[in-house]
Amino acid sequence: MSNLDNLYREIIMEHYKNPRNKGLIDDANYQSVRIKNPSCGDDITMQTLIIDGIIKDCRQVATGCSISVASASVLSEIMIGKKIEDALKLADNFLNMVSNKDYDETVDLEEAMVFNGVKQFPARIKCASIAWVAFKDTLNKE
């Protein structure tokens, strides 16, 4: 295993142990979407607050495997402050990357690059993806 793989694994475990932006906000201005992945017990809820086309807040509650929980945490951290269009572009690129499809390498995936190795493990693609699919769905509810 390369040093980069080790570093990525450490970052994923750190997010798993200390998830960022955890806990939902009871406010009708937030859009929430919950998605479950029965194959490994992942249960993810993503929440966004959009004001003037900007993601002002992103909250998450995730239980399940380390990949799914860390993915929700990394996503929440990256997306706060982004314009909706930039957030969607980033999310689509991330989903293509972990699914081993072509993606635009000029789009900066920021810390979400740590999930680059997931494509080697087809069973884990859904784990890495569900937070991002739920996140996109919250934007579609706007």
Stretch that binds Zn ion, among 5-13, 28-36, 107-115, 124-132 (CB under 5 A): 124-132
Q: Cα(54)–Cα(48) distance, rounded to whole angstroms?
A: 10
Pick from 24, 65, 88, 95 the residue near Zn ion by CB under 5 A: 65
The least distance separating Zn ion from the CB of residue 126, rounded to whole angstroms, comes to 7
What is the nearest approach in angstroms of Zn ion to the Cβ of residue 114? 15
Give the list of residues 6+ apart from residue 140 with CB closer than 8 angstroms, or none: none
| Contacts for 129 with CB less than 8 Å, ≥ 6 apart | 71, 95, 98, 99
Q: Report if residue 68 touches Zn ion, rule: CB under 5 A.
A: yes
Size of the site for Zn ion (CB under 5 A): 6
Closest residue to bound Zn ion by CB:
127
Of the candidate spans 5-13, 51-59, 106-114, 121-129, the one that interacts with Zn ion by CB under 5 A turns out to be 121-129
Q: Give the separation between CA 126 and CA 98, rounded to whole angstroms.
A: 9
Contact between 50 and 113 under an 8 Å Cβ cutoff? The reply is no
State which of positions 1-40 bind Zn ion (CB under 5 A): 40
87 touches Zn ion by CB under 5 A: no
In the β-sheet with 54-63, what is the strand arrangement from edge to edge? Answer: 30-37, 42-51, 54-63
Binding stretches for Zn ion (CB under 5 A):
40, 42, 64-65, 68, 127
